Structure 1
Amino acid sequence: MNSRFVLTGGPGAGKTSVLHALQQRELAVAPESARQIIQARLSQNLPPRPDPKTFAQDVLRADIEQYHKLWIEDEPTFYDRGVLDALYMLNVIGALSHLDKARKVVAHPYNEVVFLFEPWPEIYSTDAERDQTFEESVQVFEGLKQWYTLWGYTPVEVPKVSIEERADFILDVVEDVF
């Protein structure tokens, strides 16, 4: 059974907050690569993102590195987005062939259950690292839901409840499938 679990969805839906709650429970977590790239660029007084293709390629490289570096075989590991998220970005801009995408999907499997966070207007906000509109967040959510399903994953929507209740929900599902 694959012990790698992805938290995905639109920007600003609470993934990172829930990931921190899982980390506080001493579970293995991998932070979002895109946010780390944006932070590094801002610290160098660069725009948050380069062109979309370069940004998606940078995220993909970082996600693949995290995939191989951070994993505990017999314990759940939680990823704030995964390799498939970066592949989705590349797919949207038509930057990879279907064969290249398929090879990368097969080479980087996650648990078939993927935790999907729907955009939530009451908690959504922008900041220096998140400049997408709420409407764009909804588009990303819908696209990722279809994308993960296309590759054989089972998206499970995380309920819109408190951070701790969301973490409990995820751990209950993990206990059932792992």
Structure 2
Amino acid sequence: MKRYILTGTPGSGKTSILHALKSQGYSVVEEAATDVIALEHRRGNLEPWMQADFIDKIIQLQKQRQIETGMCPDELQVYDRSPICAFALSRYLGYPPLFVC
């Protein structure tokens, strides 16, 4: 397995690099939290991180993206952040530890 995680501060270019790699044919797994927040905002929920199922929604989307991308286990994969980041976020928000695999 070849897995790489792009990490860094907001606005540092992680997603731009990921999109460039994807356009070159690399297998990528996009970050899920931003999309979950955007969806909740469109639904009128301005503070989705305050909901008890916020982390669950992120984990579910992240796992779905991993499964969709991981059809070839030997293939190189690049993650925009990672399940590890979702774990760190859950700890920061005071939720119990999660196992994301």
Q: Flag whether TM exceeds 0.5 (same fold).
A: yes
Q: Matched residues, percent identical?
A: 27
Larger Rg: 1
1:36 equivalent in structure 2: 35
Instruction: Name the aligned partner's letter for residue 12 of structure 2.
Output: A
The alpha carbon displacement at 1:53 in A equals 4.8
Instruction: Name the aligned partner's letter for residue 18 of structure 1.
Output: I
Equivalent residue runs for 1:56-95 within 5 Å? 56-71=55-70, 72-95=72-95
Distance in 2, matches of 1:12 and 1:48, equals 21
1:19 and 2:18 matched: yes
More moved, 46-55 vs 22-31? 46-55
TM-score (norm 2): 0.79
The alpha carbon displacement at 1:8 in A equals 1.9
Note if contact 1:30-1:66 (Cα within 8 Å) is conserved in structure 2: yes
Distance in 1, matches of 2:5 and 2:94, equals 23
The alpha carbon displacement at 1:60 in A equals 1.9
Change (3 A) 1:53 1:87: farther
Instruction: Name the aligned partner's letter for residue 73 of structure 1.
Output: P
RMSD: 2.1
The alpha carbon displacement at 1:77 in A equals 1.3
Change (3 A) 1:48 1:76: farther
Instruction: Name the aligned partner's letter for residue 55 of structure 1.
Output: F
* Uncovered stretches (5+) of structure 1, i.e. residues with no partner: 109-178
Instruction: Name the aligned partner's letter for residue 66 of structure 1.
Output: R
Distance in 1, matches of 2:9 and 2:85, equals 10
Aligned residues: 100
Instruction: Name the aligned partner's letter for residue 67 of structure 1.
Output: Q
More moved, 87-96 vs 54-63? 54-63
The alpha carbon displacement at 1:14 in A equals 1.0
Distance in 1, matches of 2:34 and 2:92, equals 19
What SS is found at the alignment partner of 1:29?
Answer: strand
Distance in 1, matches of 2:94 and 2:40, equals 24
* Uncovered stretches (5+) of structure 2, i.e. residues with no partner: none
1:3 equivalent in structure 2: 2
TM-score (norm 1): 0.49
Distance in 1, matches of 2:51 and 2:14, equals 22
2:48 equivalent in structure 1: 49
Distance in 1, matches of 2:7 and 2:84, equals 10
